[in-house]
Amino acid sequence: MAAKQNMNSRRDALKTLFRGAGLLSLGGAVWGSTAVTLKASELTLRPPGALDEYHFVKACIRCGTCVEACPYDTLQLATLDDHTAIGTPFFKPRLIPCYMCTDVPCVPVCPSGALDVKKIAKQNDGVKTGKPDINKAKMGVAMLDQEACLAYWGIQCDACYRACPLFGEAITLEFKRNERTGKHAFLKPVVHRDICTGCGLCEHACVTEKAAIFVLPRSVATGKVGAHYIKGWDKDDEERLRNLKEKKTEESSPEDELNDWEYLLDDE
């Protein structure tokens, strides 16, 4: 009788063991599937100095060192619920924005190079010094929903303008007469994306129920006209075009030119 009970106990123990192994393998499969699905998200805001999203996710070792270095609890590590690469640092400016620490403590501590201090390095006479400058950060760019912005309704509100750490530079106020009333003026906020760092202090300060000004990654918020377009009034752009022409001339050969002429003269 005792032997039979022992045999049943061993059988139950084996069942439990195999059940646990099955659950672990299932959990591993689910985790693996999730890890594959939750890759780099185009809408994720990264810390200052981050590489582009693809290379950032590849370089980041998920150590959390930058999160620990942040004195404002701005940065957090992504979990399954955050719909981005698990374990990578990001921030939500509506909750806690980047407070633009002058020493940028989150960047120099990165051991993998996913956060690169050279991307936000100070410059002296156009030469990078290697020291961080938070004003050079390009975490994202603030976008304004004019339909939801109270200032565009004619209601006096400059919360985003006053919250901006680059006061009077990244966000300015545009004065316009309110033709609807004939007595008042619009003070409309305007974002200058070449100066905006994407810190999100404006989004955090916005008084509307859902922020009328919000930060998006630059890769999502900005367009690209293509290298073949040129601003004729921009000396730098003209220089870029000259360099492209010179490069094309250097790379071409007499045979190429002959082939081009043959194509133009070909009657067939």
Q: What are the pLDDT digits (tens) for 184-232?
A: 788 999 999 999 999 999 999 999 999 999 999 999 988 888 877 878 7
Task: Please classify residue 228 by burial: count the beta carbons closer than 10 Å to its beta carbon, then call 0-12 exposed, 13-18 middle and 19+ buried.
Answer: exposed
Question: Tell me, what's the pLDDT at 52?
Answer: 94
Average pLDDT of the segment spanning 14-27: 46
Chain-centroid distance, C-alpha 233? 30
Q: What is the pLDDT of residue 11?
A: 52
Instruction: Give the span between the Cα atoms of 49 and 119, in whole angstroms.
Output: 5
Q: Can you give the pTM of this predicted structure?
A: 0.72
The strand pairing partners of 144, in sequence order, are 213
- Cα 91 versus chain centre, distance: 10
Residue type, position 126, single letter: G
pLDDT tens digits for range 122-149:
877 666 667 899 999 999 999 999 999 9
**Nearest CA-CA partner of 139 in 205, 68, 79, 196:** 196
Q: What pLDDT was estimated at residue 35?
A: 46
pLDDT at 246 over 70: yes
Sketch out the chain's domains with CATH numbers.
Answer: 53-136 (3.30.70), 141-221 (3.30.70.20)
Averaged pLDDT of the chain:
82
pLDDT category at 14 given cuts 50, 70, 90 is very low
The mean per-residue pLDDT over the stretch 242-252 comes to 73
- How confident is the model at residue 24, as a pLDDT? 43
Confidence band, pLDDT 50/70/90 cuts, at residue 18: very low
198 neighbors 165 (Cβ within 8 angstroms): no
Q: Sorting pLDDT into bands at 50, 70 and 90, what band is 27?
A: very low
Residues 233-256: what's their mean pLDDT?
73
Q: What is the distance between the alpha carbons of residues 248 and 246, in angstroms, rounded to a whole number? A: 5
Which residue reads 């859902």 in tokens? 210
At 253, the pLDDT band (50, 70, 90 cuts) reads: low
Q: Which of 45-54, 97-106, 238-247, 254-263 has the weakest average pLDDT?
A: 254-263
How is 129-158 classified by DSSP, letter by letter?
EEEE-GGG--S-EEEE-TTT-HHHHT----
Q: How confident is the model at residue 9 (pLDDT cuts 50, 70, 90)?
A: low
pLDDT of residue 99: 98
Phi, psi of 47 (to 5 degrees): -65, 170
Provide the residue count of the chain.
268
pLDDT tens column, 31-69:
444 444 455 568 899 999 999 999 999 999 999 999 999
8 A C-beta contact, residue 203 and residue 141:
no
